[in-house]
């Protein structure tokens, strides 16, 4: 029996392109919709591609008319915390309003399965760690607020219609596909691991540490890193659960281990053999001190198990990609 068509919105981005790759490996027919404002056409590993905007009903109608889409996976949000603080209206427009447009088009087309890439940013400054899914949500930046707003919208729509959804709250996605064909590329780059690796490739002179006065062992922020391929495999499990009639759910995705900014820089130095000088800068607005996931729920309910649990393995996969990009 052939598998149903899956629409990946934002499939030309970092996580979206890895998702397309996993879907193709699992023999799903894949359609990507991306406006290429932040994605890269050349990173798409295959499937059909339509250049378009999820905020444009005509583009969505064209996709749903042309393909028998059964489920939608949404990776098209803007995701830079600092930018969201400086330009909140842009974030509410793209991350919330455009998602409403997408959900409306899905409803009109009779598509009732939705996978949403949410974020640990919904929690804000945690009261305790590791963070479980029932931890209070109090975002400290507009990016996190937009993610939480969409989660509320999904809850309301699912109560009123036959929509079934899964919200996956990412902690820090990192790394690259083991085959080395695709990896992380943002313009501008804001994520720690690719930034420090760009120092090693000579693309930048130093790495900035944003704040050394947090209430953590070494004064720098603690984050839970998850390999992008572990992340996409969790999406695949969530998709299959919905397609088989499973109910809506919200899950954390992380390795449940925290690493400080300084620990990441030191690990990257060991792996690359480059001294990668670091410069201390002021804190960034909206950065919580500690974000560490409790991912027990998705492990129990969907059988998810990360394959990359060591931070060195995650950085090593990213380093292989960055060396290839720089050559």
The catalytic residue positions are 143
CA-based angle 162:167:171, to the nearest 5?
180
As a whole number of angstroms, the distance between CA 72 and CA 59 comes to 14
Q: Angle between the 192-200 and 311-326 helix axes, to the nearest 10 degrees? A: 50
Give the tokens for residue 83.
């930018």
What are the beta bridge partners of residue 74? 9, 116
CA-based angle 103:39:262, to the nearest 5?
105
Instruction: Answer positive or negative: Cα dihedral of 92, 109, 64, 170.
Output: positive
Residue 202 DSSP label: T
As a whole number of angstroms, the distance between CA 111 and CA 108 comes to 8
> What is the β-pairing status of strands 222-227 and 258-260?
antiparallel
What are the beta bridge partners of residue 249? 166
SS3 content of the chain, % helix, strand, coil (to 5): 40, 20, 40
Q: Give backbone dihedrals phi and psi of 224, rounded to 5 degrees, phi first.
A: -100, 115
Which candidate, 272, 284, 264, 184, places its Cα nearest to that of 223? 264
- Check whether the bond before 200 is cis (ω within 30° of 0): no
């Amino acid at each position: 029996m052939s598998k149903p068509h899956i629409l990946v919105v934002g499939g030309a981005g970092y996580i979206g392109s890895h998702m397309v790759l996993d879907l193709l490996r699992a023999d799903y027919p894949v359609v990507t919709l991306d406006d290429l404002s932040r994605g890269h056409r050349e990173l798409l590993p295959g499937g059909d591609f339509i250049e378009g905007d999820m905020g444009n009903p005509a583009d969505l109608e064209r996709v749903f008319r042309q393909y028998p889409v059964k489920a939608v996976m949404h990776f098209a949000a803007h995701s830079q915390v600092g930018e969201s603080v400086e330009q909140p209206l842009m974030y509410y427009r793209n991350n919330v309003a455009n998602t409403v447009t997408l959900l409306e088009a899905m409803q009109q087309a009779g598509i009732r399965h939705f996978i949403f890439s949410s974020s640990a940013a919904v929690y804000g400054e945690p009261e305790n760690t590791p963070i479980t899914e029932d931890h209070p949500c109090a975002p400290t930046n507009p990016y996190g607020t937009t993610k939480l707003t969409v989660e509320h919208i999904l809850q309301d729509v699912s109560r009123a219609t036959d929509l079934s959804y899964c919200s996956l709250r990412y902690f820090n996605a990192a790394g690259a596909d083991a085959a080395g064909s695709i990896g992380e590329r943002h313009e501008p780059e804001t994520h720690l691991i690719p930034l420090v690796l760009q120092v090693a490739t000579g693309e930048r002179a130093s790495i900035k540490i944003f704040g050394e006065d947090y209430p953590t062992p070494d004064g720098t922020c603690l984050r839970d890193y998850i390999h992008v391929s572990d992340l996409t495999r969790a999406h695949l499990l969530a998709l299959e659960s919905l397609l088989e009639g499973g109910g809506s759910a919200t899950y954390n995705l992380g390795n449940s281990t925290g690493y400080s900014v300084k620990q990441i820089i030191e690990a990257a130095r060991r792996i690359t053999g480059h001294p990668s000088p670091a410069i201390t800068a002021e804190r960034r607005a909206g950065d919580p001190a500690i974000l560490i996931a409790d991912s027990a729920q998705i492990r129990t309910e969907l059988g998810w198990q990360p394959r990359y649990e060591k931070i060195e393995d995650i950085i090593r996969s990213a380093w292989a990609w960055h060396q290839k990009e720089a050559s």
